[in-house]
Amino acid sequence: MKQLVILSGKGGTGKTSVAAAFAHLAAQSGLAGKVVLADADVDAANLELVLQPNLREEQDFKGGKVAVIDPETCAACGDCQAVCRFDAIHPHPQPLSQGERGEYWVDPIACDGCAACVYQCPTQSISMRERIAGKFYFSESRYGPLYHARLFPGQENSGKLVTLVKQRARLQALNEGRELVIVDGPPGIGCPVIAAVSGANLALIVAEPTVAGVHDMRRVLQTVQHFGVRAMVVINKADVYPAGTEEIESFCRENGIETVGRIPFDLTVASAMVAGEAVTAYRPEAAVSVAIRQVWERVLSSLLEDK
């Protein structure tokens, strides 16, 4: 079983459109029925918008804890605020009537769940409560099983949720002898990306030939290499800025990274998204679809060569 993760560094370079096209192309190939899909961008889970799957399973994701202060016993000493390094504890904003104790409150959005305040409170007024940080989903899509999730807005622990999505996808692949897990990754280089990269056999970086895209591609390549995962680069919207495309190709050449193709800029991609289809299914003859198909074939053969 092989794992392919699709990353970019910069957001909006086309990761999900490429992932959806790969899912479609895999289902058309000898890999039909042998692929599991995982959407590891839990902040902005978009793969389901293209695949429109049928939901089979839904679970709460417990994403850590939050401190809660009992106003009845709070002595308003402020020790909790003094130890909080996340700027999450504040005196109550409303001035209280005379004789009433001014209790402190915890801003749940800022609270990191460290519980340092719990141990400092002289009146044992603070407790930790579990919070539901998101939802985990398993669905059946037209191109195979899809594991995905939704982190509730503003929650943390996205890396943990990504790990859960990937573990479940892997498990099904192993149980059923499926050959490939396609992971649609998040942007950036932080914890959800690290979680998405871990255990991958190959990372396909969807790069954009813009000054920002080149800058971020280098950072994500460094991240992938830091974790010892092999990388390939595909250039999306390659014709928008040919100088950038050349810069990416020469950078990759110098660093021994294979570039696997150029995908042209084409608004068909946006139309396919609106139609809820992979672009290769929506308009197979479009130049963009032809290019993605070539990239898919190269990526697949490279994955299969890899022992």
Partner 1 sequence: MRIVVASGKGGTGKTTVATSLALAAAEWEAVRVLDCDVEAPNAALFLHPDLSQRKEVGILLPVVDETLCTHCGRCAEVCEYHAIAVIGKKTLVFPELCHGCGSCTLNCPEKAISERLDVMGVLESGPTPGGIDFARGVMNVGEPMAVPIIRELKKWNDMSLRARSAKQSPPIVEEIALGKNAHRNDHESGRLLRREERPPRNDMIEIRDSPPGASCPVVETLRGADFALLVTEPTPFGLHDLKQVAEIARELGIPAGVVVNRDGIGDNAVEAWCAEAGLPILMRIPMERRFAEAIASGKTLVEAAPEYREKFSALLENIRTRVAV
Q: Which of residues 244-273 bind partner 1 (CB under 8 A)?
A: 244, 265, 267, 270-271, 273
Q: Which of residues 71-100 bind partner 1 (CB under 8 A)?
A: 83, 85-87
Q: Which of residues 277-306 bind partner 1 (CB under 8 A)?
A: none
Q: Measured from the CB of residue 179, what is the shortest distance to partner 1 in angstroms? A: 28
d(CA 34, CA 32): 5
Number of neighbours of residue 27 by Cβ within 10 angstroms:
19
> Taking the mean position of all CA atoms in its chain, how far away is CA 152?
14
- In this chain, which of 1, 2, 34, 65 binds partner 1, going by CB under 8 A? 65
Residue 176-195 contact track with partner 1, rule CB under 8 A, x = bound: ----------xxxxxxxxx-
Q: Measured from the CB of residue 98, what is the shortest distance to partner 1 in angstroms? A: 28
d(CA 53, CA 259): 32
Looking only at the bridges linking them, the beta strands covering 180-184 and 202-207 are unpaired
Q: Is residue 53 at the binding interface for partner 1, with CB under 8 A as the rule?
A: no
CB nearer to partner 1: pick between 180 and 206 = 206
For residue 56, give the nearest of 185, 163, 168, 183 by alpha carbon. 168
CB nearer to partner 1: pick between 88 and 303 = 88
d(CA 202, CA 298): 12
Q: Measured from the CB of residue 45, what is the shortest distance to partner 1 in angstroms? A: 8
Binding-residue total with partner 1 (CB under 8 A)? 71
Per residue in 3-22, is it b (16+ CB within 10 Å) or e — as a string? bbbbbbbbeebbbbbbbbbb
Q: Which stretch binds partner 1 (CB under 8 A): 11-19, 163-171, 172-180, 248-256?
A: 11-19
Q: Measured from the CB of residue 165, what is the shortest distance to partner 1 in angstroms? A: 14
Q: Is residue 151 at the binding interface for partner 1, with CB under 8 A as the rule?
A: yes
Structure tokens at 10: 């910069």
Looking only at the bridges linking them, the beta strands covering 35-39 and 231-235 are unpaired
Q: Measured from the CB of residue 102, what is the shortest distance to partner 1 in angstroms? A: 22
Going by the DSSP 8-state scheme, the letter that residue 64 receives in this structure is: E
CB nearer to partner 1: pick between 24 and 237 = 237
Q: Measured from the CB of residue 7, what is the shortest distance to partner 1 in angstroms? A: 12
Q: Which stretch binds partner 1 (CB under 8 A): 68-76, 238-246, 252-260, 281-289?
A: 238-246
Q: Is residue 44 at the binding interface for partner 1, with CB under 8 A as the rule?
A: yes
C-alpha pair distances (Å), 262 with each of 31, 131, 235, 236, 297: 24, 44, 5, 6, 14
Going by the DSSP 8-state scheme, the letter that residue 95 receives in this structure is: P
